Amino acid sequence: MIPLNKDDICPEFYKEFVSKFEKKVRRYVEKGRIGKKKLRPKVKCFLEYLLSDDNLMSLLNCPANELKPHAEELCKTFDILRLRDREHLAFRQIRRIFVDNTYTTEFPKADFIRALDIKVCPYCNRSFIECIDKNDKSSPIKGQLDHFYSKERYPFLALSRFNLIPCCSDCNGVGGKFTVDADETKLINPYLLEDTNGMKFKMEITKSSFANIEECANSIKILVEETNQSGLEQNIKTFHLQEIYQSHSDVAAEIYLKGKLKMPQIYRQTIIAMLKPIISITEHDFNQLVLGIEDNPKNFKNKPLSKFKADLAKDEMVF
C-alpha cells in the first residue's frame, strides 16, 4: 500500500468543479425537477441543506478520517440517504446527482489523478495509472477511480475527493475491491497511511541450489505480511497481494541471486568512479542503475513493484 497525498490545500480545478456542481444542484432545486421527473420533497430538502452555509464544500472536501462519521450523521438526519433500493425514485435521484456526475466530462478525472502526484496504483504498487494525453487528441490514457465507500451504499459521497482513490483496473475490478464493502471488511484508506511500512514482502526459498534462474523462481514462495499493527491485513486479502505477487517470483529470484553475489563496497565505488566522466552517481543511483532497485520509499509511488523489490533486497542484503 502506498500513501496518497492528503494535503489540505484543495486544488483550484476541484474548487472550480465544486462551483459548477453547486450551480447544477441549485438549478435542480429552483426547477424542482431532475430531467422529466419531479424532485422528491426529501431529496429537495437534502439539496437545500447542502446549498446552505458551507455544507456542500464540507461534504465534498471532507477529510478521509471523517468521511464515515460524516456520512452516518447525514444518514441519521436525512432518512432518504439510508435508502438502498435502486427502484426507489429518491435513491435514483440522489444517485443521478452525485454518481452520474463522476463519469461525465464535468469531473476532471485526469487532473484529479495528476494532482495526487502518483504514477502507480496505491493499492497494489504494480500497475501504472499515470494520465497520458495522446498526440492524436483522442481520449487520454488514465487510471480508474475507486469509490472507497461504495457509491451503492453512499452515493452522496461519490464526488468527495478523499473518497476517490486512483487505482488500476485489477484492484478496482471484480477480482479486487469491486464487490467488497469497505465498511464491513474494515479496509484502510490510502489517504490515512503515513508511510509504506504497514506491510512487508518476504520470500521463502525451498531449495539450496538451482540449475538455472527459472528453477530458482519456481522455488520461491512470496509472503505479504501486515506490520506495525497497521490494520492492513484485510487490504492484503482484498487485493490478493500474496497471489498476484507470487507471479513475480522471477523478479524475486533475480534479487535473491544478486544477494548471493555479496557485492563489496569496493566494487560499488569502482563502478561509480568509472561512470564519473559520464555522470556523477550516488549510492542510491547505483542501486537503481546497476541493481534496478528503488531504495527510497518516497519514490515507491512512481515505480511499479518498488516496495516489493526494496523489501526483498534489504532481507537479502543486496544493499
The percent of the chain in helix, strand and coil, each rounded to the nearest 5, is 50, 10, 40
pLDDT at 290: 81
Tell me the pLDDT band of 36, cut-offs 50, 70 and 90. Answer: confident
Tens of pLDDT, residues 40-69 = 999 999 999 999 989 999 999 999 999 999
Question: 173-200 pLDDT, tens per residue?
Answer: 877 888 788 888 899 999 999 999 999 9
Instruction: Tell me what pLDDT residue 139 has.
Output: 62
289 contacts: CB under 8 Å, gap ≥ 6? 275, 281
pLDDT at 87 over 90: no
User: What one-letter code names the amino acid at 128?
Assistant: F
DSSP states of 145-181 as a string?
A: EEESS-TTT-GGGTT-GGGEEEE-HHHHSTTTTTT--
Query: Is the pLDDT at 141 greater than 70, yes or no?
Result: no
Q: Is 292 helix (H, G, I), strand (E, B) or coil?
A: coil
C-alpha–C-alpha distance, residues 151 and 175, integer Å = 18
Share of the chain above pLDDT 90, in %: 56
Q: Look at residue 163 in the predicted model and tell me its pLDDT.
A: 95
> Which one, of 66, 49, 83, lies nearest residue 163 by Cα?
66
Q: Where are the domains of the chain?
A: 12-185, 199-315
138 pLDDT band, cuts 50/70/90, is low
- pLDDT, averaged across the chain: 89
Residues in the chain, overall count = 319
